């Protein structure tokens, strides 16, 4: 079953939908991904971990830096 919604989006968000074939599927997947992130945070909180937006940002930066080092020329075998 599906339902129809009429929504308003900021211009920079709506511009993203100009580049996809199926805006409804794109938005549905974004909502599913958000629900998954929220569920993951709930599980971590129940296990005693305090997940904050700042902590997530710091970890993302560390992961990006590691990826950049791995992809740098001559980085094979370095860890």
Residuewise pLDDT in 10s, the chain (79 residues) = 999 999 999 999 999 999 999 999 999 999 999 999 999 999 999 999 999 999 999 999 999 999 999 999 876 655 5
Q: What is the pLDDT of residue 74?
A: 79
DSSP symbol at 35 = H
Nearest to 1 by CA among 34, 33, 28: 28
Q: What is the pLDDT of residue 77?
A: 59
């Amino acid at each position: 079953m599906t339902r129809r919604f009429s929504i308003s989006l900021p211009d920079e968000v709506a511009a993203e939908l100009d580049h996809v074939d199926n805006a409804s599927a794109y938005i549905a997947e974004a909502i599913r991904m958000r629900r998954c992130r929220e569920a993951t945070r709930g599980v971590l909180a129940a296990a005693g971990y305090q997940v904050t937006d700042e902590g997530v940002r710091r970890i993302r930066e560390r992961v990006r830096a590691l990826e950049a080092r791995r992809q740098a020329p001559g980085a094979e075998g370095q860890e």
